[in-house]
Structure 1
Amino acid sequence: MADPQPGTGERRQSEQERRAYYRSKRGKNLAVLAALVGFAVLVYLVSIVRMGG
């Protein structure tokens, strides 16, 4: 009897690899977002201090 879905094991593994890839990519994107927000806050605070002084 033939396998109803040939290559299912490989497809499942590549799906797991794809999910791991996107999970790690999302983590990197969140780190970049945090860095950009931190930089924007720093520039804002420096400009407020310079205007006030």
Structure 2
Amino acid sequence: MSFRVEHELHGRRKGRNIGLGLTLAALIAIVFGMTIVKVSTSEFDLPRAQVEEN
């Protein structure tokens, strides 16, 4: 019972999928980081409607 050798197309597809996954993860990390920076700055204020209610 031996394993079949993987076709070279599958190897290229796997490499492409890993690259795409890393690119997607980097994009998500950038958007998350920008959101954290935007919210954590001292210039971030609540909208006027929420301020007036409190």
In structure 1, runs of 5+ residues without a counterpart are: 1-10
TM-score normalized by structure 1?
Answer: 0.66
Identity %: 10
Alignment partner, residue 18 of structure 2: 26
Q: Provide the TM-score with structure 2 as the length reference.
A: 0.65
The whole-number CA distance in structure 2 between the counterparts of 1:32 and 1:45 is 20
How far apart, in 1, do the equivalents of 2:17 and 2:38 lie? 32
What is the CA distance between 1:39 and its match in structure 2? Answer: 0.4
Name the structure, 1 or 2, with higher relative contact order (CA <8 Å, separation 6+). 2
- Cα deviations across residues 1-50 of structure 1 (Å, max 9, x unaligned)? xxxxxxxxxx75x621100001001101100000000000000000011x
- The aligned length equals 40
Aligned CA-pair RMSD: 1.6
| Greater helix share, structure number | 1
Does residue 45 of structure 1 match 2:11? no
